[in-house]
Each structure stands twice: as C-alpha cells, then as structure tokens.
C-alpha cells in the first residue's frame, strides 16, 4: 500500500498544532485554577458583610530564576448585610507560606454604604516566593473589622482596626464639618478658595520611601544620640517633655520619649507623628510612634521602641521633630487635633491630611466645586 508523503506531513503538522493548542489551553486552565486556589476569602457566618462577587481580573504567575512571582488582581464586591450604615472596613490579608512573620491589611475608609448596598474592594497583591509550593491557598483574606456610622464596631480586631478606623472616622467628621462651615459662611467661592489652599498644603508634602525594621539595625556606621524636638499642640492631652533617638546616617533607631498626661482622664494609647529633617534642611513626615500605655492624669511615662526607621541613602538624618497626633482615653474616647490647631503653619504642614480630606479634594479636582458641594450635603 502506498502512502502520500505530503499527506503524512500535513497530518503530522495538524497533530502537532492540536497538541500545542491543547497544551496551551491546559496551561491557561491550570493557571486560572491556580490563581483561584491562591486566594481564599473567609468571612464569619454572622458577618455584617458578605461577598457578592469575586473577580480574579488579570492575575498572573511568572517564574524568575528560583523564585515565583504571583500577581493577584482581585476585585471583591461586598454587600452590607447589616441594618446600619458602614463607614469603613478592614480586611486582613495573610500569606503564611510566604511571609510567616508578616501580614497585611486592605482598608476602605470614608464609606457611606447603606443596608443592602454594595461596594467594591480591590486587593492587588504581589507575592515573591520560592518555586516549591506545598499546595493549599497562598493568601487568606479575613474580615478584621467593620465600623458603622454610630461608631459601633464588628470584627476580630487582630490589627487594632477599631482604633485606626475610629480615628479616621473622627478626622472625617472634623474635616467635613469644617468644609461645611466654610460653605455656609462663605459660599461656593469661599469653599473653592479653601479647597485650593488645602490642595496646596497637600501638594507641599514630599513623599519618601521609608522602612521599619524590628530590633537591630543593618547599618554599619556608628550611631550618635540625637535630641528630639517637639511641636507644641496646646490642646493636646499629652505633652512630650524630652526625647532621644540613636541616629546613624539614614537610620533612626530606638527612640525614647518622656511624656506627661496633662489631662484629667486616664490614657491608654498614644500616637506621635515624626518629621525627619535631613542635614540640608529638607523634611518630610516619616512615620509614627504608637504606644500602648497606662497613664493616669498628671502621670509621667517613658516610651521606648526597639525599632529602626530607615529612609533612602541619599537622606542623612539631621533632626527629628515629633508631635502628638492622636490619643485614646481609658473610657474609649479619642482626642485628635482640631482644625483650629491645624491652622498653625508648622503643625498644619506636619500633620498628615485625613483620608476624608484627601478624598474630598480629589472630588473637587476631578469633578469641580459643584460635585464637592453635593458630596458635603450627603451626610
């Protein structure tokens, strides 16, 4: 029996093409299932928030040498299943297999989600890990907390999200009240003028990369003690009296502060903001020093953090100025700087704008003054 060589080659080519296409399809399906299996969202049964939809978007996996880079682009659509309005939410993100000593969170503040309404939460993660994998979900997403409009809270609160979200909400209320007052007093033109001033102040804040390392530093240069300076906030319930930190080039290590409670209420938590100044005079808000403490009225205490703050190499730390940014009293109430205190030029420049202030300015910048007025009228 004779065979046609051309026909044979054609059949072989078709079979090869089919095999390649089948392989590619299998890889795509595997990658898709791998991505879906990579992230698990786990909410409690009695959660006031439920997952309506999960979009896996453009997630991808790539191998680079001995490491695997996993990009997870997830958009969750969540529904408010409670009877109260949701103001903010924090999701706990953990990758035990990748970084057992670290965890992450995604928070959405400044929300106004009514009962039954939905809202999106985007989780864009990049994981770098060894190629070997023991299986199982790489990333677990859980609910850490939900803050309602009555400042009520639901959640495991493993990340102290109740405190953080309450401060954001109080700052949001302060700033909305301020802009509403400007609108009532000076109309749209006055509000526009204030928005421009606020945006100029926000734009005047340089952004630098900063690192925080627990324990010893990796720096090899000798340290010296730096005396810390403090911005006076007359209305603050806490006063910082003295402070030192060990400084070496671009690192600040183990800051220690002496503080005094000058209010008539006991304090259980304090957060101080820090401005770093380099030897050439440039400065930026580097971070915060939070402290859990028990401070009776009039009592003094020390705060010591065995941590290192590291800024880019080009920045040589020449000075450090602190200010009280928030206080939680024993009774669960909070103190934050008022808008009046923020009118002080030095303090106004040092204190970070609230998430709500930034959101309102974004609305003005993108949609104009009428959209800002409409937003302020909502609640």
Partner 1 sequence: MNANRHPSEIDLALYSSGDLAAMARLKTALHVRGCADCKTRVQAYRADREVASTVALTMPRNIDWDRLSDEMVGNIRVGLAAGECVAPLASKSQPSKFSFGKPWQQGLAYAAVAFVVMGAWWLNTPAAELSAIGRISRALWTQTPVAMLAEPGVTVEASPGGVLVKENGSSMALTSPGNRPVAVSVSLQGSARARYMDDDTGQMTITTVYVQ
Q: Which two tokens mark 261?
A: 């409670």
Of 365, 96, 97, the closest CA to residue 375 belongs to 365
Interactions with partner 1, residue window 114-133 (CB under 8 A): 119-130
Q: CB-wise, 265 or 319, nearer to partner 1?
A: 319
Alpha carbon distance 259, 232 (integer Å): 13
Phi-psi region of 287 (alpha: psi -120 to 50; beta: other; left: phi over 0): left
Output Rg (C-alpha) for the chain, integer angstroms: 26
Interactions with partner 1, residue window 147-186 (CB under 8 A): 159
List C-alpha distances in Å: 187 to 100, 201, 289: 53, 21, 39
Q: CB-wise, 122 or 197, nearer to partner 1?
A: 122
Q: CB-wise, 265 or 301, nearer to partner 1?
A: 301
Q: CB-wise, 11 or 69, nearer to partner 1?
A: 69
Give the β-pairing of 86-94 and 60-64: unpaired
Interactions with partner 1, residue window 43-102 (CB under 8 A): 67, 73, 93, 95, 98-102
Q: Tell me: does residue 225 bind partner 1 (CB under 8 A).
A: no
User: What is 128-160 written as a DSSP string?
Assistant: EEES----S-SEEEEEEEEEETTS-EES--TT-
Beta carbon of residue 286, minimum distance to partner 1 (angstroms, whole number): 7
Beta carbon of residue 264, minimum distance to partner 1 (angstroms, whole number): 27
Alpha carbon distance 55, 268 (integer Å): 41
Beta carbon of residue 63, minimum distance to partner 1 (angstroms, whole number): 14
Using CB under 8 A, which of 39, 76, 108, 324 touches partner 1?
Answer: 108
Q: CB-wise, 108 or 146, nearer to partner 1?
A: 108
Q: CB-wise, 220 or 345, nearer to partner 1?
A: 220
Q: CB-wise, 313 or 331, nearer to partner 1?
A: 313
Beta carbon of residue 354, minimum distance to partner 1 (angstroms, whole number): 10
Using CB under 8 A, which of 255, 259, 263, 337 touches partner 1?
Answer: 255
Beta carbon of residue 14, minimum distance to partner 1 (angstroms, whole number): 40
232 DSSP 8-state letter: -
Interactions with partner 1, residue window 279-318 (CB under 8 A): 285-291, 305, 307, 309, 313
Residues sharing a CB contact under 8 Å with residue 307, sequence separation 6 or more, in sequence order = 212, 213, 214, 215, 253, 254
- Residue appearing with tokens 């079979």: 15
List C-alpha distances in Å: 13 to 7, 10, 16, 18, 26: 10, 5, 5, 9, 20
Beta carbon of residue 308, minimum distance to partner 1 (angstroms, whole number): 8
Q: CB-wise, 109 or 155, nearer to partner 1?
A: 109
Beta carbon of residue 217, minimum distance to partner 1 (angstroms, whole number): 6
258 DSSP 8-state letter: E
Q: Phi and psi dihedrals of 31, rounded to 5? A: -60, -40
Q: Which two tokens mark 123?
A: 């989780």
Count of residues of this chain found to bind partner 1 when the rule CB under 8 A is applied = 74
Using CB under 8 A, which of 80, 248, 261, 263 touches partner 1?
Answer: 248
Q: Which window, 3-11, 107-115, 188-196, 337-345, contacts partner 1 (CB under 8 A)?
A: 107-115
Q: CB-wise, 101 or 234, nearer to partner 1?
A: 101
Beta carbon of residue 243, minimum distance to partner 1 (angstroms, whole number): 12
Beta carbon of residue 21, minimum distance to partner 1 (angstroms, whole number): 30
Interactions with partner 1, residue window 335-364 (CB under 8 A): 352-353, 355-356, 358-359, 362-363
Give me the 187-216 binding string for partner 1, x by CB under 8 A, dash otherwise.
---------------x--x-xxxxxxxxxx
Structural contact between residues 127 and 138, judged by C-beta atoms closer than 8 angstroms: yes
Structural contact between residues 146 and 46, judged by C-beta atoms closer than 8 angstroms: no
Beta carbon of residue 282, minimum distance to partner 1 (angstroms, whole number): 16
Print burial letters for 348-378: b (CB count within 10 Å at least 16), e (below 16). Answer: bebbebbbbbeebbebbeeeeeeebbebbee
């Amino acid at each position: 029996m004779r065979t046609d060589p051309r026909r044979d080659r054609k059949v072989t080519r078709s079979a090869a093409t089919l095999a390649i296409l089948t392989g590619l399809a299998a890889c795509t399906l595997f990658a898709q299932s791998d991505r879906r299996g990579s992230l698990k969202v786990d909410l409690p049964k009695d959660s006031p928030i439920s997952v309506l939809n999960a979009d896996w978007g453009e997630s991808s996996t790539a191998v680079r040498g001995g490491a695997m880079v996993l990009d997870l682009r997830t958009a969750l659509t969540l529904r408010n299943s409670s009877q109260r309005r949701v103001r903010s939410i924090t999701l706990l993100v953990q990758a035990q297999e990748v970084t057992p000593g670290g965890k992450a969170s995604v928070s959405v503040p400044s929300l106004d989600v009514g009962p039954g309404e939905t809202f999106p939460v985007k989780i864009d993660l990049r994981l770098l890990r060894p190629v070997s994998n023991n299986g199982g979900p790489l990333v677990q997403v859980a609910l850490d907390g939900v803050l309602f409009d009555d400042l009520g809270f639901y959640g495991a609160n493993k990340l102290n999200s109740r405190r953080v979200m309450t401060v954001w909400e109080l700052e949001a209320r302060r700033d909305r009240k301020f802009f509403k007052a400007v609108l009532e007093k000076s109309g749209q033109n006055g509000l526009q003028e204030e928005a421009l001033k606020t945006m100029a102040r926000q734009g005047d804040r340089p952004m630098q990369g900063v690192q925080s390392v627990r324990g010893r530093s990796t720096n090899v240069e000798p340290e010296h003690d730096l005396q810390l300076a403090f911005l006076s906030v007359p209305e603050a319930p806490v006063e910082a009296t003295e402070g030192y930190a060990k400084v070496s080039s671009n690192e600040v290590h183990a800051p220690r502060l002496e503080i005094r409670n000058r209010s008539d209420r006991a304090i259980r938590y304090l957060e101080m903001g820090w401005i770093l100044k380099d030897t050439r005079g440039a400065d930026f808000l580097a971070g915060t020093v939070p402290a859990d403490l028990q401070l009776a009225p009039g009592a003094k205490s020390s705060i010591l953090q065995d941590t290192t703050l590291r800024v880019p190499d080009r920045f040589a730390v020449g000075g450090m100025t602190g200010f009280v940014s928030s206080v939680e009293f024993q009774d669960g109430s909070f103190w934050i700087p008022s808008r009046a205190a923020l009118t002080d030029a030095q303090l106004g420049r040092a204190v970070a704008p609230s998430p709500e202030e930034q959101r309102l300015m974004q609305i003005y910048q993108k949609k104009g003054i009428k959209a800002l007025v409409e937003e302020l009228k909502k609640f």
